Structure 1
């Protein structure tokens, strides 16, 4: 990536911080996105070159991943288009076990000769690593699926939608924000298509076509006389869907407090930008919160980030085992807590699940990057810790013999390893709405949208902000608040969860940018929940000096 391009992208919002990891491959013209990739039969033949070469060199296991990654990003600000970026990356990654040890190599020369050389390198690396390997790799068994395929169930392929239509949508959202009080606004569309082919010596040949999309914006309102400004970001979620998400036609627009619009199934960006501008202006004169204990009513778009940091990360087995300690920390949820069978992660109403099959989610795939069919499993059931997230070479460490199917690599030239699946809070079983929940609160705060946060290296003590905050008194919303953040620890917080709205309020939050590993990789993951109430949580004022 050119430095000039990076500097340009770096001013385009929070997502731009991860541009180097997303902009993989070479620049291509827009029409090249529609060109067909390599035929499946040819991919099978090329994968077999890797598998056969690896076995001939003494490897006891091998897998090959042929990947074609297509990306399109559209950036705008106010009434101008800042950039349209199209990229393509194509190559193969080969992973082997030789002498009981992993080896990996990759190449963008997807020819018989190029693949053979890369496989030879992977085996050589494994044999060299085996000299310091203390215990041989132990793989959980996996089914041989033969030749199968899976595709994100989309209705409209983003690659077939004209760029002009995408630009018009973003500029319309910008115009709506400016007309309703915003002084500045930037917006973007991130669209990704992963065409992935996996083959292994276990007997699977898996062809997958994965689509993800993320609309985002940020509006800013300025009080020139006071010299202050406030921002409000979008209330959309990145999704594992096609461009139909942007149509706004099938969206169930759930009415939130104080006119807030909450979206599911599809997204009305212009409407959200309109409300965002009004709320950004309202934030300029909002009351600053009084620190103290409050009952918190947390909507899914906000709660998803808290789930990500306080549940998703600490329950990754490699983090529990200390493999991530140098980069991202460890976990308070140690092995002994799982083995005890009675560790109280949350209250009795808290049921947290991992799910790689959830339709519309970012993490939804048919098979993971080591050929394991994806599934759903419990992490916390009735408040009790019941499992971690683990892959083929890890599950024996927690006395299990089946991978959870959550192995992933961000590209063909990165080695696959354990990544967070979709982790979600199950909705309440009884019919219960947001308005009913607010009526049950005497002193509380309703929080919607993501904000800044901080959490320690064991994912235990934390602080979370949000996008918009409303004060609740005696069962009613009485006005907007500012400078709100809540502090707690993971176990205390989830044990304070007393009520969860039913499935009619269930929505997804997500991120394209879950970073992990050295060298670092990004993955996309969603977190679902209904609005939930947490009692007696400590709230601080972030705008007042101590």
Structure 2
């Protein structure tokens, strides 16, 4: 790497430095970021080179993915813009089945010759792998879609919004936090456009234009006399939307306790920055929690992470089957529990669904990276485990004949494999607000936002923290708490769920960084819920040592 490029990347800030796999590609200009998409007819012509070459070399199946991946980062601190970076990655990945075995190769030389050479390599890898293959790949049938397209429904393309407007918005948020008493503040925007073309020997030619956005904020208050500091992260969520998410429309705010505004479908970063500063200062003098049993009121931005770790991961079929044991672990939700038909994953009101079609979610696409049309399906219904997440070469293992449509690769030069779809908790069916829920709690804690967490290799025993905590006494908020974390196991926790707010409170948490596989890949996924109550959960004090 050239020194100039290193300095440019190094200035992205702490948030962006956690995204190494998303920095792949070359720095490009703003003009290049706005360059038009490749002509669809040319994509089809190039994809056919891969498919025809693969068939001529004996492949029983082949697919090709032509991808242009665009990223933009805008990073600020206090009154300064630290960096603005645009990156682009462009190439093609080719996957084949030869002699009942997978082979994959990729190239950034997106020409007929380059694609022919990569296809030859993919076929050669499949033939070499076939020597060790014990059972042939079994692909579930999928519909031939012909020539189709899909695009994230957006009203503002981030690429067309001037950088000056983005920087001004972030600096205004920083200024609001500093005026409200913050000592330090960092903020930034991470924006993604995936231009993906998929073609397969099944007869599908699918062109997709995927947009995602993540505004991030961290505010710190310092008590120099006491030698203490506290921070509060922003309460935004990464979304599968355009820049309209940053409009902060009043109609999209959801009222929380203690005067908090929470955000759905749009985000007011200036307002959140101001409240973050006020809450970071309040955390400096907040009461330390007394360990014990509490009823927990968990808001969606917090609960999404718990869903991700205790539901999303353990119900990935490849993990259940042990394919991830060497790296990410296994799962307590083994096949015998599913086959029994009565395994109580949660209480009767717990309905957990997988959904790759959810508008505004990070995982929303029209078709997955195997050309399967995406859908919604049950994982847990009325508290009972009913299904897993599986793709074309897995579903026969659970006696099903259609992929769930949750196959994904983080880029054109990575092989696609089973990834977590959006996994969400359905809202309650009766009218019931957060205020109603708090009134029903005698001794409890309201938790908002994400914090540190730990969960074992089977996704069973866990501990979760949060961003802000409020004590609930006799149906009222009694003040802020600190040093809060709760401990449970997955089945015990979800069976303690006694109440869920209605759809008016439904919001999504998201992450760009769901890691899995060797070599590791990341994927973007959202988790929706309404605020939910879990009774008699063990809370520990993280600030005290024995």
User: What TM-score comes out, normalization by structure 1 length?
Assistant: 0.98
Distance, in Å, in 2 between the alignment partners of 1:287 and 1:112 is 66
CA-CA distance at 1:443 after TM superposition: 0.2
Which residue pairs with 1:90 in the alignment?
A: 90
Change in 2 beyond 3 A, CA 1:4/1:36: closer
Which residue pairs with 2:320 in the alignment?
A: 320
Flag structure 2 segments of 5+ consecutive residues without an equivalent.
none
Q: Answer whether contact 1:10 1:16 (CA < 8 A) is retained.
A: no
Q: Answer whether contact 1:62 1:200 (CA < 8 A) is retained.
A: yes
CA-CA distance at 1:37 after TM superposition: 2.5
Which residue pairs with 1:157 in the alignment?
A: 157
CA-CA distance at 1:19 after TM superposition: 2.3
Alignment RMSD: 1.2
Distance, in Å, in 1 between the alignment partners of 2:83 and 2:539 is 41
Per-residue CA deviations over 1:319-350 (Å, capped at 9, x if unaligned) read: 10111111110000001111111000000000
CA-CA distance at 1:20 after TM superposition: 1.4
Q: What is the SS of the residue equivalent to 2:493? A: helix
Change in 2 beyond 3 A, CA 1:508/1:2: farther
Q: What is the SS of the residue equivalent to 1:363? A: coil
After the TM superposition, which of the residue ranges 106-115 and 4-13 deviates more from structure 2?
4-13
Which residue pairs with 1:528 in the alignment?
A: 528
Correspondence 1:516 to 2:536: no
User: What TM-score comes out, normalization by structure 2 length?
Assistant: 0.98
Change in 2 beyond 3 A, CA 1:6/1:181: farther
Number of equivalences: 546
Distance, in Å, in 1 between the alignment partners of 2:236 and 2:159 is 21
Q: Answer whether contact 1:74 1:85 (CA < 8 A) is retained.
A: yes
Q: What is the SS of the residue equivalent to 1:85? A: strand
Change in 2 beyond 3 A, CA 1:13/1:301: farther
Change in 2 beyond 3 A, CA 1:78/1:140: same
Q: What is the SS of the residue equivalent to 2:65? A: strand
Per-residue CA deviations over 1:33-54 (Å, capped at 9, x if unaligned) read: 1111221000000000000000
Q: Answer whether contact 1:251 1:264 (CA < 8 A) is retained.
A: no
Distance, in Å, in 1 between the alignment partners of 2:145 and 2:466 is 44
Which residue pairs with 2:467 in the alignment?
A: 467
Distance, in Å, in 1 between the alignment partners of 2:286 and 2:23 is 39
| Within-5 A mapping of 1:371-450 | 371-450=371-450
CA-CA distance at 1:5 after TM superposition: 6.2
Distance, in Å, in 1 between the alignment partners of 2:474 and 2:61 is 64
Change in 2 beyond 3 A, CA 1:359/1:14: farther
Change in 2 beyond 3 A, CA 1:400/1:334: same
Which residue pairs with 1:543 in the alignment?
A: 543
Change in 2 beyond 3 A, CA 1:337/1:8: farther
CA-CA distance at 1:18 after TM superposition: 3.0
Q: Answer whether contact 1:154 1:242 (CA < 8 A) is retained.
A: yes
Displacement over 2 Å in runs of 4+: 1-19
Per-residue CA deviations over 1:422-453 (Å, capped at 9, x if unaligned) read: 00000000000000000000000000000000
Distance, in Å, in 1 between the alignment partners of 2:11 and 2:490 is 34
CA-CA distance at 1:130 after TM superposition: 0.1
Change in 2 beyond 3 A, CA 1:527/1:13: farther
Change in 2 beyond 3 A, CA 1:510/1:6: farther
Change in 2 beyond 3 A, CA 1:245/1:392: same
CA-CA distance at 1:24 after TM superposition: 1.7
CA-CA distance at 1:3 after TM superposition: 8.0
Q: What is the SS of the residue equivalent to 1:349? A: coil
Change in 2 beyond 3 A, CA 1:3/1:530: farther
Which residue pairs with 2:288 in the alignment?
A: 288
Q: What is the SS of the residue equivalent to 1:337? A: helix
Flag structure 1 segments of 5+ consecutive residues without an equivalent.
none
Which residue pairs with 2:352 in the alignment?
A: 352
Q: Answer whether contact 1:444 1:471 (CA < 8 A) is retained.
A: yes
